[in-house]
Amino acid sequence: MNSHDCLCKTRHFLVLGRLLLAFLAAWSAGAHPARADQTLRIATFNVSLYGSRAGEIAQRLQTGDDQQARCLAEIIQRVRPDVLLVNELDYDADGATLDGFCKNYLAVAQHASGAPAGPADPIEYPHRYVAPSNTGQPSGFDLNRDGQVGGPAGSDAYAGDCWGYGRYPGQYGMAVLSRYPIDEAAVRTFRQFRWVDLPGAHLPDDPATDAGGDWYPAAALKQFPLSSKSHWDVPIRVGGRTIHLLGSHPTPPTYDGPEDRNGLRNRDEIGFWVEYVGGHSSSGNGSDSPIVDDAGRHGPLAAGASFVIAGDLNGDPLDGDGPEGIRALLASPRVRTDPIPASRGGAEQAALQGGANANHRGDPAHDTCDPPDRPRPGNLRIDYVLPSRDLQVVDAGVFWPSTDDPLFPLTGVHPFPSSDHRLVWIDVSLEHPSLPGDADDTHENAAKSP
């Protein structure tokens, strides 16, 4: 080989090396969104980890080789949120489902994507919070009006008469994972808060009668919880300050009739947060407030407290069914709505799939869910991470890779390898010396009932 050939080959390999480095740099930027110093990354992810019977998911997660769980875990490892609300992870009293997911998947390097940069780094969350859900809890009433009360466990008849739709207790549960301590003594849950007690509640009407709000029997309404799963206020201690993670998963505003029972419940489940973060003048404070948690403590969130509302809220402000609840939340003066998390993959998939997406008014880059179309609703923005206005958001995104991204196999297309929802995240600046409400790290208006 002469010197000219050696020089050409050397240049050739140098060019290939530069291209490879450029590719890996571009891949890394999309796979693991860049973090500014002194930021807190908060995310929500509906992982769709539910089965056909109680205990099924816990059993699946003990093996360490469940492909759906591996894809879900790699997504979380690539994004690396500091605080994560997980929707649709089965609840069980001994925590076996959450423990299996954390120990056998999140804490193990995942490479389900086959991405050229290699496996994602493990991630551990030393602080976790789980609590019971209303899903699959029998009501004792014929709530779906099919002529019977309940039915065989695992059936639609059983699920339809539960306080929250679920084929078994704990289906579609929630969990909070955090790198920072959770102030568990100050956690508030509202699983038993009654629908009728929400100021301005929109109770469904029976269209066959002239009375108002009478779709459900009066005896049922005396017990009917607002939340189809639960509403949680989970205070996270970050340095010398507290940020309240306000998590929920309202029922979809569909699967009903002209009475719109699910649409109205979705509206009010979202509306609860409007009242909770801004109800200081409309509904009173302390013991005179209609807001009461499961421990009997009254009052909304403290006026100066920092918070982030997170979850699969099942409401798109512009497209799909039931936009009223989410529009009211986005219009709340206490909620910061920008920047809107976005992705390349969402815009690409809306264009590729067409159908109902072609008539949507919302920006498809903001979509977070790709539900089955029959032939609607198309892709929707229904998963949210909404901070209080005192928090500065420096970045935000939706994990939805485009088809040319090496991580695309983690989301893919129907049937999805992970979930039909996408992980949504924001980065909040922690550089400010203090935040409003830091002196009170819980809820100054909450008071014990006598």
345's tokens: 């993959």
pLDDT of residue 37: 78
Looking at the whole model, is its pTM more than 0.85? yes
Range of the domain at 252: 33-135+170-448
Q: Considering the domain boundaries, does residue 390 fall inside one?
A: yes
Find the length of the chain: 450
Burial of 189-217, coded b for 16+ CB within 10 Å and e otherwise, reads bbbbbbbbebbebbbbbeeeeeeebbbbe
pLDDT higher than 90, residue 187 = yes
From first CA to last CA, the distance across the chain in angstroms is: 93
Using 50, 70 and 90 to split pLDDT, how confident is the model at 183?
very high
Alpha-carbon dihedral 153, 156, 161, 166, rounded to 10 degrees = 70
Rounded CA separation 408/414 (Å) = 13
pLDDT of residue 118: 97
Give residue for tokens 């009223």: 324
Mean per-residue pLDDT of the chain: 89
Q: Considering the domain boundaries, does residue 17 fall inside one?
A: no
pLDDT in tens, 1-43: 554 554 444 444 443 444 343 343 344 434 567 777 799 999 9
Give, for 4, the enclosing helix (H) or strand (E): helix 3-31
pLDDT of residue 353: 96
pLDDT in tens, 305-317: 999 999 999 999 9
Q: Considering the domain boundaries, does residue 141 fall inside one?
A: no
pLDDT in tens, 134-158: 999 999 999 999 999 999 989 999 9
44: CB partners within 8 A, 6+ apart: 84, 85, 86, 87, 247, 310, 311, 312, 383, 384, 385, 423, 424, 425
Alpha-carbon dihedral 10, 16, 22, 24, rounded to 10 degrees = -120
Q: What is the DSSP string of 24-68?
A: HHHHHHHHS----SSEEEEEEEEEEE--SSTTHHHHHTTSS--HH
Number of domains making up the chain: 1
The whole-number average pLDDT for the span 157-165 is 97
Cα→Cα distances 305→156, 242, 295, 336, 441, Å: 41, 8, 20, 14, 7
The whole-number average pLDDT for the span 375-392 is 96
Q: Considering the domain boundaries, does residue 6 fall inside one?
A: no
Q: Considering the domain boundaries, does residue 295 fall inside one?
A: yes
The whole-number average pLDDT for the span 381-397 is 97
- For 236, the 3-state DSSP assignment is strand
Q: Considering the domain boundaries, does residue 5 fall inside one?
A: no
Which has more confidence, 222 or 6? 222
Q: Considering the domain boundaries, does residue 265 fall inside one?
A: yes
pLDDT in tens, 390-441: 999 999 999 999 999 999 999 999 999 999 999 999 999 998 544 444 333 3
Give, for 241, the enclosing helix (H) or strand (E): strand 241-248
383's tokens: 């998963």
305's tokens: 């407290």
Q: Considering the domain boundaries, does residue 153 fall inside one?
A: no
Q: What distance lies between CA 276 and its chain's CA centroid?
A: 18
E strands, 100-239, where? 127-129, 174-178, 188-189, 231-238
Rounded CA separation 119/106 (Å) = 12
Question: What is the CATH classification number for the domain harbouring 207?
Answer: 3.60.10.10
